[in-house]
Amino acid sequence: MFGQNQGGRFRIPPTLLIAVVMAGFALCKYYSSSSTNEITGETQHISMSPEQEIALGLQSAPEMAQEMGGLSNNEQAAAIVRQVGEKVVRSSAAARTPYKYNFHLLADPNMINAFALPGGQIFITEGLLMRLSTDGRTLNEDMLAGVLGHEIGHVVARHSAEKMAQMELAQGITGAVTMATYDPSNPNSGYIAQSVANMIQLKYGREQELQSDNLGVRFMIESGYEPEHLIQVMEVLKQAAGPNRTPEFQSSHPDPENRQEAIRAAIEQWKKQ
């Protein structure tokens, strides 16, 4: 019951007042922390500094590598990953950022994945690297540049720091909604609030992936690689996922087919610059 009329006076439940304060605090904290990204031109709500992002990434990298099965012993392949990654950074707008980029090859031959930590720590698995080929035998460096350019895009666009701020906001709002709607007779009354927060995070994830594809195309062109090969990377991901992949609405990543269309549009956009 929202309130009670006792003696002609309307009483607001204490839990609702607490919820309003919680929501207000979360919103004020989120919107009061903003900065303009030099590369993308976007105003982002981020509380971390680039130096903090770099420190967090460097601190997390060894543990992340260990959790993912360790670094590869293939020194030749690891060197190629570093060389291509460093060329993309050195020859593109990414060089104007303060981040410290390091490129790591993970040993897992089965996992098909690449990801970036805050501040420039970028990983790719052997499982994905060995599939970046147009003839099934030789590594295609343009495809590798596409994968690494995409991950560099995550760093440049500050997606990890942005995600952290969004998660803090979602947690604050979720806590407020749970407080306002909690029903002692229904233990699952907070489920809706958490589901809404999860949907918000999924939406942000898809937008960030598409932005990183766009930046990856830009960085490939600036560093002399053929951006059309990023479309081939999407074919690799589509084949790896198989026919029973998770529907786009339930995934943090857009379907490869949709990403291919966005990449084609990005190629046309950046080749006109």
SS3 (DSSP) at 68 = coil
Q: Name the pLDDT band for 186 (thresholds 50, 70, 90).
A: low
Tell whether 15 is covered by a domain.
no
Q: What angle, 0 to 180 degrees and rounded to 10, lies between the N-to-C axes of helices 159-181 and 141-156?
A: 50
* Least confident piece of the model among 49-53, 187-191, 269-273: 187-191
Q: Name the pLDDT band for 14 (thresholds 50, 70, 90).
A: low
Q: What is the mean pLDDT of residues 178-193?
A: 52
Tell whether 73 is covered by a domain.
yes
- 64 pLDDT above the threshold of 70: yes
Q: Give 40 or 12, the one with higher predicted confidence.
A: 40
Split into its structural domains, the chain has a count of 1
**DSSP codes, 151-207:** HHHHHHTTHHHHHHHHHHHHHHHHHHHHHHH-BTTBTTTTHHHHHHHHHHHHHHHHH
What pLDDT shows up at residue 247? 47
Please name the residues in contact with 263: beta carbons below 8 A apart, sequence gap of 6 or more. 213, 214, 217, 227, 230, 231, 234
Q: Name the pLDDT band for 223 (thresholds 50, 70, 90).
A: very high
- 7 pLDDT above the threshold of 90: no
Q: Give 272 or 253, the one with higher predicted confidence.
A: 272
Q: What is the mean pLDDT of residues 202-214?
A: 81
Tell whether 191 is covered by a domain.
yes
Q: Give the residue from 29, 43, 152, 36 showing the smallest Cα distance to 88.
A: 152
Tell whether 235 is covered by a domain.
yes
Tell whether 245 is covered by a domain.
yes
Residues of the chain above pLDDT 90, percent = 54
Tell whether 11 is covered by a domain.
no
Q: What is the mean pLDDT of residues 123-136?
A: 94
Range(s) of the domain holding residue 150: 32-271
* 73 DSSP assignment: S
Token pair recorded at residue 205: 């994830």
Q: Give the residue from 73, 97, 101, 99 showing the smallest Cα distance to 87.
A: 101
Task: Answer yes or no: pTM beyond 0.85.
Answer: no
What pLDDT shows up at residue 200? 46
- 30 pLDDT above the threshold of 90: no
Q: What is the mean pLDDT of residues 221-232?
A: 97
Tell whether 216 is covered by a domain.
yes
- 248 pLDDT above the threshold of 50: no
- 270 pLDDT above the threshold of 90: yes
Strand residue runs (E) in 71-168:
102-106, 114-116, 121-125
Average pLDDT over the chain reads 81
What pLDDT shows up at residue 152? 98
CA distance 143 to 156: 20
What pLDDT shows up at residue 163? 80
Chain centre to alpha carbon of residue 70:
22
What pLDDT shows up at residue 47? 80
* Least confident piece of the model among 30-44, 93-107, 137-151, 243-257: 243-257
